[in-house]
Amino acid sequence: MTAARRFHLFLSPHLDDAVLSCGGLIYRLVAAGERVAVHTIMAGRPPRPLPQSPILADLHARWATAGDPIDARRREDIRALSQLGALARHTAIPDCVYRVTYTPAGEPVALYPSEESLWAAIHPADTAPLLLDATPLLYPQTTALHIPLGAGGHVDHRLVRDWGRRLARANPGLDIFYYEEYPYSLNQGAVEAALAALNPPLDLAPILHPLDDDALAAKIAAIACYESQISTFWRDAEDMADAVRRDALVVGGGIPAEREWQPRG
Ligand SMILES: [Zn+2]
């Protein structure tokens, strides 16, 4: 441990993943005087015109955001993170449901048009891996990098995880953590599958971050800022708060906690 103020950078695939997974830890770090930033990668605007796809029709109805859903989602993220005392940065790669290729006639065709496609192979025409390769560590003062583990196997989470691993190799002085993505992490076998899917393999040890009442309350209040996203996972904000409390107890084996994984040695 050094006396210098540490700087924690969380890589978040979407506008909510870091807070859903590590909102309590972020609160704790800020309360301990450390600095925290959350860099959300797939926060780009949709293409114009939008492609037609079943998943977009469904998502836009579910999010119920007026106007451009990305503007609304970015505002939710800034509110949640400023409440926790963390910086918010957004990169303009669109969510995979907005990534397209074009027909010879110039019509946009969705690369990930269905629910199933979100968990399948990365589309060969997807330029996100190349864009990520060209994206540096946004904060050179970073001392600890928190990377999504890929629990659940969403295509954007796998892409950001692999990019995070490349950043870790390019910046060998950093402390590296892999966070379990909540609520996917609660699905049977999701974390084990993510650990087994790491390629090249990594020897990781779990690290529990216990959450006191303040940290848990701050996490719930921050998640509540993502109003458009609540209905994806829960009935309403109250149902979310109950689930977050209950699930944190499961993670910590009786005391509320969040879990990350750290390379051994
Ligand atoms: Zn996500």
Q: How many angstroms is it from 1 CA to the middle of ligand 1?
A: 32
Assign 67 a pLDDT band (cuts: 50, 70, 90).
low
State residue 3's pLDDT score: 55
In a domain, 1, yes or no: no
Cα 264 to averaged position of ligand 1 atoms, centre (Å): 26
Whether residue 179 is predicted with pLDDT greater than 70 in this model: the reply is yes
In this structure, is residue 2 part of a structural domain? no
Single out the residue of 186, 190, 195, 184 nearest to residue 161, CA to CA.
Answer: 195
Quickly count helices (H) and strands (E) in the chain: 9, 9
Please state the domain count of the chain. 1
User: Looking at the domain assignment, is residue 74 inside a domain?
Assistant: yes
Helix (H) or strand (E) holding 25: helix 17-31
Q: How remote is the CA of residue 230 from the centroid of ligand 1, in Å?
A: 13
User: Is pLDDT above 70 for 2?
Assistant: no
Residue range 101-151, pLDDT digits in tens: 999 999 999 999 999 999 999 999 999 999 999 999 999 999 999 999 999
The sign one gets for the Cα dihedral 206, 210, 215, 217 is: positive
**C-alpha distances out from residue 239 to 59, 149, 176, 222, Å:** 20, 26, 33, 15
Question: Which CA distances in Å does 195 have to 33, 159, 185, 198, 248?
Answer: 31, 15, 11, 6, 20
Q: 224-245 pLDDT, tens per residue? A: 999 988 988 999 999 999 999 9
Q: What percent of the chain has pLDDT over 70?
A: 97
Q: What's the pTM?
A: 0.95
Q: Is residue 115 included in any domain, yes or no?
A: yes
Q: pLDDT band at residue 265, thresholds of 50, 70 and 90?
A: confident
Question: Would you say the C-alpha torsion 154, 242, 59, 88 has a positive or negative sign?
Answer: negative
Q: Is the pLDDT of residue 96 over 70?
A: yes
Tokens of residue 55, six digits:
């998943």
**Domain holding 131: CATH number?**
3.40.50.10320
For tokens 């907005």, what's the residue? 98
Quote the domain boundaries for residue 243: 7-263
pLDDT of 63: 67
33 alpha carbon – ligand 1 mean position (Å): 28
Q: How far is the CA of 17 from the centre of ligand 1 (A)?
A: 5
CA of 172 to the centre of ligand 1 (A): 26
Q: What's the mean pLDDT when you consider all of the chain?
A: 94
pLDDT at position 205, please? 97
Pair 199, 205: CB distance under 8 Å? no
Going from the Cα of 73 to the center of ligand 1, the distance in angstroms, rounded, reads: 13
Q: Is the pLDDT of residue 12 over 60?
A: yes
Whole-number Å distance, alpha carbon 148 to ligand 1 midpoint, is: 9
The answer to whether residue 202 is domain-embedded is: yes
At residue 59, the pLDDT reads 79
Q: Kindly give the distance from the C-alpha atom of residue 4 to the centroid of ligand 1, in angstroms, as a whole number.
A: 32
The Å distance, Cα 34 to ligand 1 centre, comes to 25
CA of 13 to the centre of ligand 1 (A): 5
CA of 200 to the centre of ligand 1 (A): 22
User: If pLDDT is split at 50, 70 and 90, which confidence band does 38 have?
Assistant: very high
Q: How far apart are CA 146 and CA 36, in angstroms?
A: 10
